[in-house]
């Protein structure tokens, strides 16, 4: 395609300039897509290679700077194609993105995060808007366990009782506050989160071991939760809905808060899930006792401060850091508690469910989001390169510490060798280390206990299965709680007795005639959180989707990063109770319905009948 141009450049009668020609080298399957791309690009009417042989074209037009040409044109965006910030309008604006590939933007962001990280951090229990003293503990950086990120003081039983007493007194007034006013406070909180973006991201990186891209995504999710639930609050808890019925009677359906919710959040999404639980409960008119994960108390404390700054009354939002076995257990057992929202392990959710059933008082609501044995099914029509990219992201992003993470990769026999070859090669390119470094792909596990639990699983299962590949840890990982991404091939699902929360991927091969059987076998594990499908056969994707029991199903993409209001997140069975967080049915679970039937004929009847048209 470039032969004429090449001759023009090197010919002694022309420019006589050295010209390097490169040629891709590889197998047919590797080079054919490349050739097609070149044909499409260079064969286009706008291609430089195409235009240079067109004698009717002016040379100045051919060599014109495309940026200058674009600037000179009077291009206007299409009115029906919204900007990124407006894709959810008219309901809400989108959270701001972070253009990390832009070096100048990234350099500024990292500099601001570094300055934020240098600040001394502290946190305390907050009850009734007041700081409560307690036992002091340290929060450490999982990437460098000898580095103390900050200190916090824990709440005690007395603080829990005090918070409950204030919450009982203040919740009715909050519930009577118009839903639009509560929503306005959450919208303001979202704006404050955006204004303090670099600070919040810096704490996520230091305290939770999040990589910079993960911290950015977490901040965006938290902001989206606040704005989405603000909109949903007005829809569900605003004006009562008028129901059909006989004339002379007005029947309406409304919603109000249940009372007091205990929100127990995890360390793996210490800002987003913490914010989502608290925002949903507050938006629905409830008072909240927020109990964060011990490992990530500092980031949760900062979130509470911003929520209080936004206008949430101190009497309806109480921050109670400490051990779940004491603080959480005491709060849950109290008969004044109307409900619990918990994201954590299946075992923890079971204990809470039993405690709620045993306690006195009103029957309490439980909203649980737990773990999963998440599988991806790949058939022989899938594109191996895409499968590998999505597998790496789904398995090792956040060091595998996502409840949505891929745990089991089911490969059709015909495609398995190629996928495994590419997968192990890609793993060699993963960068493991300091999460504050933008180049880092995999950060640390949250603590030594988590790392040791992962290591024990790999040691145990390797006696019955084959470790295909395990990344090497760099020297810089010695000071943190890192575990290397690991791939293990198994021949039976019986080896997967429980969820392993870390960067460990299991692979299992299947024959094409056994696909339905293996989907059923995964369903029988009892979990139902996420599932992936890679196939270019639409009917097969539909069949697997209908057969699967997963709550979130992803086709020809990765299995993580559910977006609020776009991919409502949650599972069933051992993976949780539902409803889905970030979805239209979530907020009603935090409230109770009531109906009002008014016999309007007693005061004159249905006057609207007098104004009916012919």
Please report, in angstroms and rounded to a whole number, the separation of the first and last CA atoms in the chain: 75
DSSP 288-323: EEEE--GGGHHHHHHHHHHHHHHT--TTTEEE--S-
The reply to whether 403 belongs to the active site is yes
Whether residue 222 contacts residue 276, with contact meaning beta carbons closer than 8 Å, is answered with yes
Domains of the chain: 3-72 (no CATH), 122-137+149-370+585-592 (3.40.605.10), 374-566 (3.40.309.10)
Whether residue 530 contacts residue 404, with contact meaning beta carbons closer than 8 Å, is answered with yes
Comparing C-alpha atoms, which of 395, 348, 437 is closest to residue 558? 395
Q: Which two tokens stand for residue 567?
A: 């991919």
Whether residue 152 contacts residue 301, with contact meaning beta carbons closer than 8 Å, is answered with yes
| Marked catalytic residue, from 369, 410, 471, 499 | 369
**Predicted local confidence at residue 468, as pLDDT:** 97
**Predicted local confidence at residue 1, as pLDDT:** 57
The number of residues in the chain equals 614
Share of the chain above pLDDT 70, in %: 100
Q: What is the pTM of this model?
A: 0.92
DSSP 52-111: TT-TTS-HHHHSS-HHHHHHHS-----TTS--GGGTTTTT-PPPPP--TTSHHHHHHHHH
Whether residue 50 contacts residue 42, with contact meaning beta carbons closer than 8 Å, is answered with yes
Distance in angstroms (rounded) separating the CA atoms of residues 299 and 127? 17
pLDDT < 70: residue spans in the chain = 1-2, 614
Find the radius of gyration of the CA atoms of the chain: 28
Distance in angstroms (rounded) separating the CA atoms of residues 272 and 265? 9
**Predicted local confidence at residue 39, as pLDDT:** 82
**Predicted local confidence at residue 614, as pLDDT:** 63
Say which residue the tokens 């808890």 belong to. Answer: 237
Q: How far is CA 427 from CA 6, 190, 232, 421, in A?
A: 39, 37, 42, 10
**Predicted local confidence at residue 20, as pLDDT:** 82
**Predicted local confidence at residue 69, as pLDDT:** 83
**Predicted local confidence at residue 12, as pLDDT:** 81
**Predicted local confidence at residue 59, as pLDDT:** 81
Strands 530-534 and 374-378: parallel
Comparing C-alpha atoms, which of 215, 559, 228 is closest to residue 395? 559
Whether residue 505 contacts residue 170, with contact meaning beta carbons closer than 8 Å, is answered with no
Q: Which two tokens stand for residue 389?
A: 């990219």
**Predicted local confidence at residue 13, as pLDDT:** 82
pLDDT tens digit sequence for 358-406: 999 889 999 999 999 999 999 999 999 999 999 999 999 999 999 999 9
| Marked catalytic residue, from 403, 410, 471, 499 | 403
Comparing C-alpha atoms, which of 589, 591, 593 is closest to residue 342? 589
């Amino acid at each position: 395609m470039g032969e004429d141009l090449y001759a023009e450049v090197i010919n002694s009668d022309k420019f006589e300039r050295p010209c390097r020609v490169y040629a891709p080298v590889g197998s047919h399957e590797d080079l054919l897509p490349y050739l097609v791309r070149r044909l499409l690009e260079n064969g286009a009417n706008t291609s430089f290679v195409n235009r240079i042989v067109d004698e009717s074209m002016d040379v100045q037009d051919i060599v014109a700077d495309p940026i200058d040409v674009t600037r000179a044109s009077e291009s206007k965006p299409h009115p029906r194609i919204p900007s990124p910030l407006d894709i959810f309008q008219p309901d809400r604006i989108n959270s701001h993105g972070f253009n990390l590939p832009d070096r100048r933007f990234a350099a500024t962001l990292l500099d601001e995060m570094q300055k934020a990280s240098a600040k001394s951090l502290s946190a305390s229990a907050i009850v009734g808007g007041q700081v409560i003293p307690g036992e002091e503990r340290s929060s450490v950086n999982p990437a460098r366990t000898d580095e103390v990120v900050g200190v916090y003081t824990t709440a005690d039983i007395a603080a829990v009782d005090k918070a409950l007493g204030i919450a009982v007194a203040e919740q009715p007034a909050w519930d009577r506050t118009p839903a639009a006013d509560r929503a306005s406070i959450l919208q303001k909180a979202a704006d404050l989160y955006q204004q303090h973006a670099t600070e919040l991201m810096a704490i996520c990186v230091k305290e939770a071991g999040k990589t910079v891209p993960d911290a950015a995504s977490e901040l965006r999710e938290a902001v989206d939760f606040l704005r989405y639930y603000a909109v949903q609050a007005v829809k569900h808890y605003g004006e009562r809905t008028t129901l059909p019925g006989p004339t002379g009677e007005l029947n309406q359906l409304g919603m109000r808060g249940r009372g007091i919710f205990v929100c127990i959040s995890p360390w793996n999404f210490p800002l987003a899930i913490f914010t989502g639980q608290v925002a949903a409960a507050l938006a629905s008119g409830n008072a909240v006792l927020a109990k964060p994960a011990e490992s990530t108390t500092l980031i949760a404390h900062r979130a509470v401060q911003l929520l209080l700054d936004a206008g949430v009354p101190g009497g309806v939002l109480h921050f109670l850091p400490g051990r779940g076995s004491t603080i959480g257990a005491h709060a849950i057992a109290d008969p004044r508690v109307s409900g619990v929202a918990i994201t954590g392990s299946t075992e923890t959710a079971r204990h809470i469910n039993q405690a709620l059933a045993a306690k006195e008082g009103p029957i309490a609501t439980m909203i649980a989001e737990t773990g999963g044995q998440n599988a991806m099914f790949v058939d022989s029509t899938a594109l191996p390169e895409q499968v590998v990219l999505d597998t790496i992201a789904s398995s090792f992003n956040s060091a595998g510490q996502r409840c949505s993470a891929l745990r089991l990769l089911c490969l059709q026999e015909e495609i398995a060798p190629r996928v495994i070859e590419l997968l192990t090669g890609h793993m060699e390119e993963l960068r493991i280390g300091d999460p504050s470094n933008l180049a880092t792909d995999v950060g640390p596990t949250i603590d030594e206990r988590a790392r040791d639990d992962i290591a024990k699983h790999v040691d145990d299962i390797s006696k019955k299965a084959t470790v295909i590949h395990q990344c090497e840890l760099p020297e810089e990982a010695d000071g943190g709680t890192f575990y290397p991404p690991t791939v293990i091939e198994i021949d039976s699902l019986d080896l997967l007795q429980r969820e392993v929360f870390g960067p460990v991927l299991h692979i299992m091969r299947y024959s094409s005639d056994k696909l339905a059987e293996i989907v059923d076998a995964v369903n029988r594990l009892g979990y139902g959180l996420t599932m992936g499908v890679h196939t270019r056969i639409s009917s097969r994707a539909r069949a697997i989707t209908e057969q699967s029991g997963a709550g979130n199903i992803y086709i020809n993409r990765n299995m993580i990063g559910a977006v609020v209001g776009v991919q409502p997140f949650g599972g069933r069975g051992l993976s949780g109770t539902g409803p889905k967080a970030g979805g239209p049915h979530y907020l009603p679970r935090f409230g109770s319905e009531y109906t009002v039937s008014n016999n309007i004929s007693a005061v004159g009847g249905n006057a609207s009948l007098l104004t009916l048209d012919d």
